A and B are shown apart, each in its own frame.
Chain A
Amino acid sequence: MNKFFKRMVKQTEFYVFLIIVVLSLVIQVRSGLFFANNNIVDLLRSMIVPSMYAICALLAFVSTGPDVSFPLIAALSSYLALIVTNNLGLEDTSWFITFIIGIFFGCIMGALNGFIIVRYNFPSLIVTLGTSSLFSGILLGAFEAERMNLPKNLAAFGKASLITVKNAKSGLGSTLPMTFLLMIALYIIAYLVLNKTMVGRGVYAVGGDEVSAERAGFNVKGIRFGIFVVNGGIAAIAGLSYAVMSMRYLPTEYAGGEMIVIAAIILGGTRMTGGIGTLKGCLLGTLLLTMVSNSLILLGISVYWQKVFIGAIIIIGTAVSAVQSHAGRKAKTRLKKETA
């Protein structure tokens, strides 16, 4: 028990968790609404898309480096999926088909990232920045994408709810969309692959030390390429989920989502230098930032101070993680084994 506790105290996730607990208590005391069932459901709903993005960001950081193209991949692949669904008359099929189409396009875009990064050994930040603006140009310039309604199959999927709660006191309800299940499924798959398969361990190995990984027999280029392809697929799922949840396709609302997600996973203990980062941390970091940005009105903080607050949380959280990083430098190798 003591050993377990000692180990826990060494992890960044633990401190993020502490911040979350303290913050939620503060919000509860100030507003009396935080632990209401409808508020919790709202919070989970808001977390769905950012936490899907967080997997993309995590995989990229752990194996290669930053990937900032996922919001635009999400936007473009969802657009293509909707267009294909509409034009091939697939509105009456299952929502699953549209998602598969989206994932297909997402993977292609991810493969483009992966190809350039792996083949020419360019820094991933620059490449993904470039492809982001490329995709954005294609979406808004070449296709002239506009806001549009969803095809019937997705609209039906969006209307279906997983859980509906009603707050007995205020009479306000809230529903959790089905996309929540997609997010859970993604996390379970990612967990199993990262921790229980050789390829998954390879992802960490490649990011930790490329040369050692190669000598240990991992296919460094293959793994990195694969990561970006998978990222494209996940981004597509996130993009379609966003459309499903707002019941409309909104092409301009995707861009710019990457920064808060990256902040969230760094908060959650992912190292920018690669090789270290956990799914648990991703979820906690995303939860913290979603909680902060969704509770400031409950706290009655004025619009002008809200941004100051969010900025402060990011800096404090990252500082905790940085201090941890200094302390944990000696134990780096051990930590690496314990990741995820």
Chain B
Amino acid sequence: MKNLKKFIAIIAAAAMTFSLAACSAEKTTTSSNKKETKESASKDKNGDLFDVSRYKSDKDKSEWTIAVVTKDNTSNWFKRMEVGVNDFGKETGIKVIQKGPANADAASQVQVIDDLINQGVDALCVVPIDPGAIEASLKNAMEQGIVVITHEASNQKNTLFDTEAFTAKDFGSAIMDALAKDMGEKGKYAMMVAYTTSTTHMEYANAQYERQKEAYPDMKLINDGAVPSAESEESIDTSYERAKEILKSNPDLKGFTGVASTDCPGIAKAVEELGLDVKVVGVGTPGEFKPYVESGTISTIKLWDPKGSGHVMCKVASMILSGDEVGEGTDLGIAGYDKLQLIEGENRCLIGQADLTITKDNINDYDF
């Protein structure tokens, strides 16, 4: 009996030693692996991260995963984008996933991106909430050889291509033209954005103001031309409260623009509740704005089709993965994107001509 115990003890001790040895052996192999990857990463750093040809994938098409990261996956806007993303998946047989942060804030989005990088996706298509906040994550992704494409972020540095439906300047001017037409080119107006850190929103807002100064001298932006007049913080309720405040302090307001999809419903609700005659022009989905468009409070919707944008991001990513050339004049085979314009500024920006104008007359043609 005693002997048996002794024997078992010896066996156990031996097993432990062996396993320890095994462990340490494993450790050494992993650390040497790490060293290798580090070396290759540093080599990458010496090379040009923005050289598109670096990202050509050796894997078969069927093994690619293209991930799309949105600002907020629950909104109709990004659900419509998902339609385009899935269309692309079906068309090409490439695996696509669309993910959004649980909360619409920059920190949560960083987390989603980091998770996807760890899952080893081949391409990341991102619609940033705050481009600055995700810069480091995107750089990290590119260093690992992941294709990075963005949308609605013309100042994002760490991206191979930013894709836009149109230039922010053209779109902002188009919004102003629509507003001017609806309010008779005369009177006070206000503008709302989601966050002042939202680059494209600010570009639209500035372009609107520029356009107004240039073409409509009888119109006036409230608060002596401070752009923007308010932030909606991506919340309809906040938008409503801010709009109400603006209407209270400017009872003679004639026009209001909102460039986030949360802005106009809040503004329109406030306008209708107060019983004022204010024309609201803004960006959003026809489905969500329909009641206000039909009642005439929201006079014009300006937008681009998120379905197209989702499709375009995936398409560009796949072209880079397969080593195809993308640039000035490329035809993506998607309506409005048949002759891309390439603008090189802080990044390379691929721009289409895909803006839509929706009013009471044609709102029923759009089903999102």
**Does A298 sit at the interface, judged by CB under 8 A?**
yes
The residue that A170 contacts in the complex, of B102, B228, B234, B251, with Cβ under 8 A, is B251
Tell whether, in the assembled complex, residue B273 and residue A175 are in contact, meaning their CB atoms are under 8 Å apart: yes
Q: Which of A146, A174, A253, A297 contacts B235 (CB 8 A)?
A: A253
Is the Cβ of B237 less than 8 Å from the Cβ of A245?
Answer: yes
For B75, B102, B229, B234, the residue with the greatest tally of chain A CB atoms inside 10 Å of its CB is B102
B230-244 contacts to A (CB < 8 Å): 230-231, 234-237, 240-242, 244
Q: From B249, which residue of chain A is reached at the shortest CB distance? A: A298
Tell me whether A248 and B236 are in contact (CB under 8 A).
yes
User: 1/0 per residue B189-213: CB within 8 Å of A?
Assistant: 0000000100000000000000000
Chain A nearest Cβ from B34, distance in angstroms: 30
List residues of chain B with CB within 8 A of the CB of A147.
Answer: 74-76, 288
From residue 150 to 183 of chain A, which have CB atoms closer than 8 A to chain B?
Answer: 170-175
User: Which residue, of B236, B247, B288, has the highest number of chain A Cβ atoms within 10 A?
Assistant: B236
Q: Do the beta carbons of A172 and B74 come within 8 Å of each other? A: no
Q: Provide the residues of chain A in CB contact with B223, threshold 8 Å.
A: 300, 302
The answer to whether A242 and B237 have CB atoms under 8 Å apart is yes
Q: Is the CB of B245 within 8 A of A253?
A: no
Quick check: is B79 within 8 A (CB to CB) of the other chain?
yes
Cβ of A304 < 8 Å from any Cβ of B? yes
Could you tell me the distance between the alpha carbons of A133 and B103 in the complex, rounded to whole angstroms? 10
The answer, yes or no, to whether B104 is at the interface (CB within 8 Å) is: yes
Closest residue of chain A to B288 (Cβ to Cβ) is A147
B248 contacts the other chain (Cβ, under 8 Å)? yes
When the two chains form their complex, are residues B244 and A255 in contact, meaning their CB atoms are under 8 A apart?
A: no
- By beta carbon, the residue of chain A nearest B276 is A172
Which chain A residues border B229 with CB–CB below 8 Å? 297, 303
Q: Of the candidates A137, A246, A302, A306, which one forms a contact with B102 in the assembled complex, judged by CB atoms under 8 Å apart?
A: A137
Name the residue on A nearest B99 (C-beta): A141
Q: Indicate whether A136 reaches chain B with its CB closer than 8 angstroms.
A: yes
Does the CB pair B74–A297 fall under 8 Å? Answer: no
Contact residues in A for B230 (Cβ distance below 8 Å): 297, 303
- A278 CB to nearest B CB, Å: 27
Closest to B195 in A: A303
A173 contacts B275, CB within 8 Å? yes
User: Measured between alpha carbons, how far is A170 from B273 in the docked complex, in Å?
Assistant: 14
Which residues from B are CB-within-8-Å of A252?
A: 72, 74-75, 103-104, 234
Least CB separation from B105: chain A residue: A256
B10 at the interface (CB under 8 A from A): no
Contact A46 to B102, CB < 8 A, known contacts A39-B248, A251-B74:
no
CB distance from A14 to the nearest CB of B (A): 29
Residue from the list A33, A144, A303 in contact with B249, Cβ < 8 A: A33
Given contacts A147-B74, A252-B104, contact A297 B231 (CB under 8 A): no
Q: Which residues of B contact A246 (CB under 8 A)?
A: 236-237, 240
Judging by beta carbons under 8 Å apart, are B74 and A145 in contact? yes
| B247 interface neighbour in A46, A172, A245, A295, Cβ under 8 Å | A172
Interface centre among B105, B196, B230, B237 (most CB of A within 10 A): B237
Report how far A144 CA is from B79 CA in the complex, Å. 11
Bound complex: CA of A46 vs CA of B275, how far in Å?
20
Interface residues of A in 273-309 (CB under 8 A from B): 294-295, 297-298, 300, 302-304, 306
Contacts of A250 in B (CB 8 A): 235-237
CB pair B245 A294 closer than 8 Å: yes
Contact of B274 with A by CB under 8 A: yes
In this complex, what residue of B is CB-closest to A298?
A: B249
What is the minimal beta-carbon distance from B362 to any residue of chain A, in angstroms? 24
Return chain B residues, CB-CB under 8 Å to A318: none
Question: Which of B74, B246, B276 counts the most chain A CB atoms within 10 A?
Answer: B74
| Cβ proximity bits B5-27 to A, threshold 8 Å, 1 near / 0 not | 00000000000000000000000
Given A250-B235, A252-B72, does the pair A146, B79 have CB atoms closer than 8 Å?
yes
Q: In the complex, what residues of A have CB within 8 A of residue B234's CB?
A: 252-253
* Chain B residue contacts of A248, Cβ below 8 A: 236
> B231: which A residues are within 8 A, CB to CB?
303, 306
Proximity string of chain A (93-107) to chain B, C-beta cutoff 8 Å, 1 when within and 0 when not: 000000000000000
Complex Cα distance, B235 from A248, in Å, reads 12
Q: Is the CB of B74 within 8 A of A173?
A: no
User: Are B102 and A133 in contact (CB-based, < 8 A)?
Assistant: yes
Q: When A and B form their complex, which 3 residue pairs have the shortest distance between CB atoms, in order from nearest?
A: A297-B245, A255-B103, A136-B102
Beyond contacts A144-B74, A146-B79, A245-B237: 15 other A-B pairs, Cβ-Cβ < 8 A, are A140-B74, A146-B74, A146-B76, A172-B276, A173-B273, A174-B273, A246-B236, A246-B237, A246-B240, A253-B234, A253-B235, A253-B236, A255-B102, A303-B229, A303-B231
Binding site for A on B (CB under 8 A): 72-76, 79, 102-105, 196, 223, 226, 228-231, 234-237, 240-242, 244-249, 251, 269, 273-276, 288
